[in-house]
Amino acid sequence: MAGQKPPPEPHGDDGPPPPDTGMGMTAVSYLFAGMLVWGGIGWLVDHYVGTKGIFAGIGAVVGAAGGVYLIVRRLGA
Amino acid sequence: MIGPSTVLAAEFPPSVEDFYLPSILPWGAHDSYWFTKITVLVWVAVAAIIIFFLVSYRKPQLVPTKKQWMAESAYGFVRNNIAIEMIGPRGINFAPYLTTLFMFVIVMNFFSIVPFIQISPNSHIAFPAILAVISYVMFIVVGIRHHGFFKYLKTALIPPAPWFILPLLIPIEFFSNFLVRPFSLAVRLFANMFAGHMLLLVFTLGGFAMINANAWLAPISVVSWLMTIALTFLEFLVICLQAYVFTVLTASYVQGALADEH
């Protein structure tokens, strides 16, 4: 069975194509990853410098921006 | 298996302790968890899947029998709608693994709504975690074999972007691709099964707690038990959806590892 050819049409069944779960999850994970990584780095900077959270805030915003940029580049048309 | 008397005796606010079932070995110590209902269910799932597919394909016929049709539908669904849909023509190579994964997850999940069993091994993080580790190692190995080590790291970590934003983006890529992925795979499945079991416990035991507290609350208890039945159907939806999502995400990660730069 593993040696069979794939069906000529993209969907073997008549049902609708599955929702693109993979893409949605990737987008969400980029956004969260961006905020967590740079927010975390900012938090470490805060800890080191002695400020109360300004760098964590800036980091989270910058990270979210980076995440959005990545989503557009990787998943956008 | 919980008889009514033990249900009545169970404490009402269900806790994590309800997931640690006692050892079923008669000679086991009180806090020995080496062989519990969970262990049995895992082996039952493995055996059921192996036996079902072996029996279904023992004498394959051109006009399939009912069993053969069911097995072929399961395989065909994963092969055409997940493997080929997500990965492309090379997806056929991964279809056997993806089908096994799909069947294993769905059977393990399904235990959570089978009457008298009603707990899924996947409500313990260990089982989803191992499945996620397998998927994680697989997509990395596939990527390295397809591209070579450094080229794979380059495609996985360096997005198409101007050089001055790269220091900002590479940590995000690394975190998202190599740290979040296995974690979110495992936690998504585990949390869904855990929450589903907890929800059913709350409504079942809550009914008993109310009827024990005051006989006038009996009608509300009945409503609570009817809710349990409704939630069991919801749980069935979650079971199928989570098995599907786990498989689709694994396929999507493999696809990402095989993708060429664009």
**Is A59 inside a domain boundary?**
yes
pLDDT at residue B145 tops 60 = yes
List Cβ neighbours of B94 (8 Å cut-off, separation of 6 or more).
B83, B87, B251, B254
**Is A13 inside a domain boundary?**
no
**Is A6 inside a domain boundary?**
no
Q: Which of B86, B170, B176 has the highest number of chain A CBs within 10 A, making it the mutation to test binding with A?
A: B176
Count of CB contacts below 8 A, A vs B?
Answer: 97
Instruction: Specify the pLDDT at position A6.
Output: 54
- CA separation for the pair A63, A67 (Å, rounded): 6
Residue B165 tokens, joined: 């934003």
CA distance B100 to chain A (A): 13
pLDDT at residue B162 tops 80 = yes
pLDDT at residue A11 tops 50 = no
pLDDT category at B29 given cuts 50, 70, 90 is low
pLDDT at residue B226 tops 80 = yes
**Listed residue (A40, A23, A31) closest to A69, CA to CA:** A31
- The minimal CB distance from B175 to the residues A6, A21, A37 is found for A37
Q: Are B193 and B122 in contact (CB under 8 A)?
A: yes
Mean pLDDT of B126-135: 95
**Is A30 inside a domain boundary?**
yes
Domain that holds residue A62: 23-75
- The minimal CB distance from A18 to the residues B85, B165, B175 is found for B85
Domain count, chain A: 1
Residue B208 Cα distances to B16, B17, B137, B166, B231, angstroms? 19, 19, 46, 59, 17
**Is A2 inside a domain boundary?**
no
Domain count, chain B: 1
pLDDT at residue A9 tops 90 = no
Instruction: Specify the pLDDT at position B62.
Output: 82
pLDDT category at B194 given cuts 50, 70, 90 is very high
| B167 touches A at CB < 8 Å | no
Which chain A residues have a beta carbon less than 8 Å from that of B248?
18, 21-22
What DSSP letter does each residue of B92-153 carry, written as one string? HHHHHHHHHHHHHHHHHHHGGGSTTT---GGGSTHHHHHHHHHHHHHHHHHHHHHH-HHHHH
- Beta strands (DSSP E) in chain A are none
Phi-psi region at B61: left, alpha or beta (left = phi > 0; alpha = psi -120 to 50): beta
Domain that holds residue B78: 4-258
CA distance A50 to chain B (A): 23
CA distance B69 to chain A (A): 13
**Is A5 inside a domain boundary?**
no
Which chain B residues have a beta carbon less than 8 Å from that of A37?
171-172, 175
**Is A54 inside a domain boundary?**
yes
User: pLDDT tens digit string along A18-31?
Assistant: 456 667 778 888 88
